[in-house]
Structure 1
Amino acid sequence: MLLHLAELDRRGFCLLLFWGKKYRLTPMALKLSASGNGPAYLYLAVSLLLLHRDGQYFFNLLLASFLLELPCYLLLKNTIRRTRPCHCLPAGLVNDFEPSDRYSLPSGHTAGAFVFAFAVMQVYPQLGIPAFFWAAMEGGSRIVLGVHYPLDIAAGAVLGCSSGYWAGQLLQG
């Protein structure tokens, strides 16, 4: 079962990497990936805090979610220690993009994007679908850049959504 899952993961990675090269998606993937860097979340959350009536709850939910997500992310990443595809494949097969750390599971960019999307869905439900679409594209960009496998992305999505869910439960009661 695990060998079959690992093979599907590898094939999914190869397929998305191939599509990224075939359709020249690397520049777009770089922009999508950069949109998920931490400062963007902070700027938007502070802007909403100052400008929107639900901004305080959004800020608190996002902060609590990240306070739950980050330690779990670090524990998982440094316990599992899955080598990134860009570090174990031949040069030239993946893009010349160097990630910020050595390990790939779970995807921190994806976890952060899904924390954000979950908070958006909770506070601004009319923007939930676009937020989750963006989060999924953020995760896909990490595969196109050659720094994550699909299971890394799935694990990041689960981590982000579950952190958002539990933070919401803590804030409500």
Structure 2
Amino acid sequence: MNAFGRADTHIFRWIFGVTAGRDCRIIKYISKSGDGHVYLILGVLLCAFDPKDGTIFLYTSLLAYALELPIYVILKKLFKRQRPCDLIYNFRSHITPSDKFSLPSGHTAAAFLMASLLAHFYPSVAILVYIWASLIGLSRVMLGVHYPSDIVAGALLGITISMLSLSILV
């Protein structure tokens, strides 16, 4: 294993160690707040209650996720990075991963994509939504299904796709 991989694994073990032997209910809820249906509900609600900005927000979000999802799948299949629970001997994550590979983190990509769009259309919530997206990424490491570099890659993917979508539609 190269120096980067060793450092990534070391940081992973340190962060995951915080949750070892503990109830992870709150961390699981934070992670679940990054599930896709939450974003759709938010987009529809913003469209309904803020017809001016909410409508373009919804269209931009739909375009962004239409671009992000296939890129995410291609990257997962291209890198084929094993998850910590599949690679680290005698290790058990707190949850069962949704797919086989870990790079990039899809939850983190989606969270940062949404945070970037929300910050663009509603600047007053920027700090809050970026903290929320960061907590989703951190929760994925704390639950044992991603390495820290997976989170960074997911965040970069989400921000990049949101900026691309904004440049197309806004």
Point out the more displaced range, 80-89 or 150-159. 80-89
Name which of 154, 157, 164 aligns with 1:156. 154
Letter in 1 for 2:160: S
Question: Residue type of the partner of 1:80?
Answer: F
Distance 1:14 1:6 in 2: 12
Question: In the alignment, which residue of structure 1 is the partner of 2:82?
Answer: 83
Say if 2:76 and 2:103, in contact at 8 Å, map to a contact too: yes
- Partner residue in 2 for 1:135: 133
Give the whole-Å Cα distance in 1 for the aligned partners of 2:28 and 2:130.
19
Normalised by the size of structure 1, how large is the TM-score? 0.93
Q: Deviations over 1:93-148 (max 9, x none)?
A: 33341111000000000000001000101100110111010000000000011100
Deviation for aligned residue 1:88? 2.0
Report the alpha carbon displacement of residue 39 of structure 1 after superposing the two structures with TM: 0.5
Residue 110 (structure 1) aligned to one of 89, 101, 108 = 108
Letter in 1 for 2:58: F
Distance (Å, rounded) in 2 between the aligned partners of 1:130 and 1:96: 26
When normalised by structure 2's length, the TM-score is 0.94
Equivalent position of 1:14 in the other structure: 13
Unaligned runs of 5+ in 1: none
> What letter is aligned with 1:49?
C
Sequence identity, in percent? 37
Distance 1:61 1:128 in 2: 17
Aligned alpha-carbon RMSD (Å): 1.4
Query: Structure 2: which amino acid aligns with 1:158?
Result: L
The residue number in structure 2 matching 1:36 is 34
- Distance in 2, matches of 1:85 and 1:130, equals 29
Name the residue aligned to 2:24.
26
CA distance in 2, matches of 1:162, 1:130: 20
Distance 1:122 1:25, change over 3 A: farther
2:3 is aligned to 4
Say whether the 8 Å CA contact 2:24–2:94 is kept in structure 1.
no
Cα distance in 2 for residues equivalent to 1:95 and 1:152? 16
Taking the aligned partners of 2:107 and 2:94, their CA distance within structure 1 comes to 18
